[in-house]
Amino acid sequence: GGNVAMDAARVSWREGFEEVHVVYRRTRKEMPASPWEIDAAEDEGVQFQFLVAPVEVVGKKGRMTGLKCLKMELGEPDASGRRRPVPIEGSEFVIEAENLIAAIGQRPDIKFIPDDSELEITRWNTFAVDQETFQTNVPGIFSAGDVETGPDIAIRACANGRKAAAGIVRYIEAKRREAA
């Protein structure tokens, strides 16, 4: 349901697949993809299956023939505050398919940060930064890319990396002036 899934679906459609489905276990409202990415995928012909979870790849003679899915409903919120998808018993169905692209969610891995660190971590497991300098709340520590935005497109990571580099240069220059 994220931007990578939208990119994969749209490219697949453009490459000539007869049908392209995005299967997502929550509703459109909960999809993490940018709304314009979802709209663009729909406009191009991508079909969405909401409140559906993949269960099993179905095959015959070593080749994929379909994707067994299970209908879901939203239950109580989980630890992240999002309503947890709950399977609906007996609701299995198969989407005929010969190919599968798994574009599952990801989160930045910041386990290397000590528990007693003063770095401010957002609820999305990213570093909180000043959007102009990309400096964190700890002076001299900067962040850009997925650990600043969360999973996103590479071009934004590159652009923010350049902005962070400029922020680092300004920081170092200011420190040099202070020391002089």
Residues 30-74: pLDDT tens digits? 888 889 999 999 999 999 999 999 999 999 998 999 999 999 999
Using the structure block, give the residue that is written with the tokens 């910041």.
110
Extract the tokens encoding 165.
Answer: 């580099």
Mean pLDDT throughout 148-176? Answer: 91
Residue 76 CA to residue 94 CA, distance in Å, equals: 27
Domains and CATH numbers, the chain: 3-96 (3.50.50.60), 107-180 (3.50.50.60)
Extract the tokens encoding 81.
Answer: 């505050």
Residues 4-23: pLDDT tens digits? 889 899 999 999 999 999 99
Q: Model's pTM, two decimal places?
A: 0.60
Residue 132 CA to residue 112 CA, distance in Å, equals: 25
